[in-house]
Amino acid sequence: MKTLIKNGMVVNADESRRADLMIQDGTILTVGTDLNPEQGCRVIDAQGLLVMPGGIDPHTHLEMPVGDIRTADGFENGGRAALSGGTTTIIDFVNPKRSQSYLEAFDQWKERAANATCNYSFHVTVTWLDEKAEQEIRLLAKDHGVNSFKHFTTYRDTIMLDPDKLLRSFSLARELGCLCTVHAENDEIIRYLQHKLLAKKITHPKGHVLSRPPIAEGEATNRAIALAKVAGVPLYIVHMSCAEALRAVITARESGQEVYAESLCGHLLLDESVYYHKDPEVAARYVMSPPYRSAEHRDALWDGFKAGHIQTTGSDNCTFTQAERNRGLHDFTKIPNGSPGLEDRMRIIWSEGVVSGRLTQEEFVAVTSTNAAKIFNIYPNKGVITPGADADIVLWDPEAQHTVSAATHMQAIDYSIFEGMTFTGSPHTTILGGEVVFAAGQVTALAGQGKYIARPARQRIPHCHS
């Protein structure tokens, strides 16, 4: 069946124009003025709405095992949360255990995602490396559609890659035409400060922010940039949260190095004061790494988007229940790390970015969709409204207001770190592969309706828009 979207304002990263869209078989057929419905064609009136490429969240952790627990949001409910917030594609992370087969871990994650309601793809974390691992990584890149590999510089006991192996992994990625991504925090600084704080009997969640200062992130970002330069590989800094790290990125970019950065909706909204809440149960809800920062850092990040130094926004959706967080009430180092955001990322960026005058609507599309599509090589199938592109579309109501509450959200946790906040700008309708999957406040996507998106390796990333 064909679908005609009429009377909307089509917003792409480079321009906005009034146009109608004809969709057929999951693909955008035509973008033009005054298109007429054919017999049997479904018509959606987008008068007063913005017609934008569906959001791409390049950073989620759905149903991720961590020790004896798993993140609460899975691919079915998490995908519904995503669609209700205008996101149609997520890029999640496969985290092999040390010495686990990379191919086996990849298959496990694909099985978990079989019930996905939104489209999904995978980065793979390099947690260990020897010749066998390298062979498997080659297969992931050549045959399984993985073109981005993540490296942790902290979490020494679990998923941090031996620092002596980073350069080896980076040069393998270069050989394969893949992108390296890094969680950049200096593990030594963090452990030193954690011990000092615990020795002083500081066990409250505020120890989390005190033990992960911006200098730890700045140092690790600088180091990752230096190693990527030596290896000659493009680098992407995930969840960049502070001015120190941004300075390192700007210096590298200005010298011509291919470095990209992502910031999270939470870091663009919340303040470090959340960790000082007198009730440690409440403060524990905000524990994620790197931690939320002061206004000075948030302002720097917004300036970084405006200047094009930061290209993407993610959620890093990684949800743990209150009971799971309470495991660390008497020792902040034992609180499982992570935050929600998959459901609200686009609303937060519209409200804080566009409504507050920091971003244009075209820049909003760039930082919520287009740039991620380009960097992770799914453009122009995704990330743009143009003939031939996949019909993953959000009809955005720029005036709609949405108040977040744990009582009404689709995420599977029993609190919200955005509780009671009202955001302006919200999806009216979300379309996935040409099908309406969210309308009138209801998600109708079925389990398994989301598709796996293979992302082939390639040599050059196209120009990203600020």
Q: Which two tokens stand for residue 153?
A: 């510089």
Rule CB under 6 A: which of 33-72 touch ligand URP? 61
**Helix-helix angle 166-176:131-143, to 10 degrees:** 30
Name which of 398, 306, 272 is nearest 346 in CA terms.
Answer: 398
Rounded Cα distance, 90 and 82, in Å:
8
297 binds Zn ion (CB under 5 A): no
57 binds Zn ion (CB under 5 A): no
- Nearer to ligand URP by C-beta: 10 or 265? 265
289 binds ligand URP (CB under 6 A): yes
- The helix (H) or strand (E) run that includes residue 168 is helix 166-176
Confirm if 94 and 433 have CB atoms less than 8 A apart: no
Name which of 264, 266, 240, 265 is nearest 253 in CA terms.
Answer: 240
Query: What x-and-dash track marks residues 155-184 binding ligand URP by CB under 6 A?
Result: ----------------------------x-
- Nearer to Zn ion by C-beta: 183 or 285? 183
Residue 196 phi, psi dihedral angles, 5° rounding: -60, -45
Among 217, 316, 324, 344, binds ligand URP (CB under 6 A): 316
Among 316, 344, 362, 390, binds Zn ion (CB under 5 A): 316
Question: Whole-number minimum distance, CB 356 to ligand URP, in Å?
Answer: 25
337 binds ligand URP (CB under 6 A): yes
Residue of minimal Cβ distance to ligand URP: 337
What DSSP line would sit under 367-383, residue for residue? IIIIHHHHHTT-TTTSS
- Nearer to ligand URP by C-beta: 54 or 266? 266
Q: Which DSSP symbol is given to 25?
A: T
> Residue 288's binding partner, choosing from ligand URP, Zn ion, none, with beta-carbon cut-off 5 to 8 A by kind?
ligand URP
338 binds ligand URP (CB under 6 A): yes
E-assigned strand segments in 303-387? 312-314
288 binds ligand URP (CB under 6 A): yes
Rounded Cα distance, 356 and 349, in Å:
10
183 binds Zn ion (CB under 5 A): yes
In the sheet that 55-60 helps form, which strands lie side by side, from edge to edge? 55-60, 87-94, 119-125, 148-152, 179-183, 235-237, 259-264, 312-314
156 binds Zn ion (CB under 5 A): no
Binding residues vs Zn ion (CB under 5 A): 183, 316, 465
Binding residues vs ligand URP (CB under 6 A): 61, 183, 239, 288-289, 316, 318, 337-338
